[in-house]
């Protein structure tokens, strides 16, 4: 949703630039010798385009805001998926906040926990060899 919001904001800004220069843009499109619609119609067209472009920008801002409020998935960094209810929970959680099931603890820093596990395994191997 964030990307769609960004596209709408860009489109709305370009449309607003066109709308604010509507009279000059229409004169450029029609050419110097063609007459256009009466000034009241051109004013109404300019106002309509301005309102529509501002509305497009507003919808883009709203979509970008909702895009940042999305729930995290288990694929996101710092989150994992509960094996019982399949909801996203923090990696360090030991109890699922959604279903209350117990989770196996995982450290946020896998380098430290794997080092500890490796050191513990090495100590146990040395003890077995000494016996």
Q: What does the pLDDT average to over 23-41?
A: 73
Residue 81: burial class (beta carbons within 10 Å; 0-12, 13-18, 19+): middle
**What does the pLDDT read at residue 72?**
57
Among residues 101, 51, 49, 50, which one has the least CA distance to residue 80?
101
Mean of pLDDT over the chain: 80
User: Residue 75 pLDDT more than 70?
Assistant: no
Does the pLDDT of residue 81 top 80, yes or no?
yes
pTM value is 0.49
> How far apart, in whole angstroms, are the C-alpha atoms of residue 47 and residue 3?
28
**Across 2-6, 49-53, 105-109, which has the greatest mean pLDDT?**
49-53
Q: Give the rounded percent of residues in the chain with a pLDDT score beyond 70.
A: 82
* pLDDT surpassing 90 at residue 53: yes
Report CA-CA distances (Å) from 108 to 23, 98, 101: 60, 20, 20
- Residue ranges with strand state E in 1-131: 79-81, 88-90
Nearest to 53 by CA among 16, 5, 17, 10: 16
């Amino acid at each position: 949703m964030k990307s769609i919001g960004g596209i709408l904001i860009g489109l709305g800004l370009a449309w607003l630039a066109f709308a604010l220069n509507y009279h000059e843009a229409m004169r450029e499109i029609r050419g110097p010798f063609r007459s256009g619609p009466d000034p009241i119609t051109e004013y109404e067209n300019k106002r309509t385009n301005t309102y529509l472009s501002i509305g497009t920008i507003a919808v883009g801002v709203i979509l970008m805001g909702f895009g940042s409020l999305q729930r995290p998935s288990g694929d996101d960094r710092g989150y994992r998926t509960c094996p019982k209810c399949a909801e996203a929970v923090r990696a360090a959680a030991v109890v699922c906040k959604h279903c209350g099931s117990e989770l196996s603890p995982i450290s946020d820093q896998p380098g430290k926990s794997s080092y500890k596990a490796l050191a513990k395994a090495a100590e146990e191997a040395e003890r077995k060899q000494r016996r």
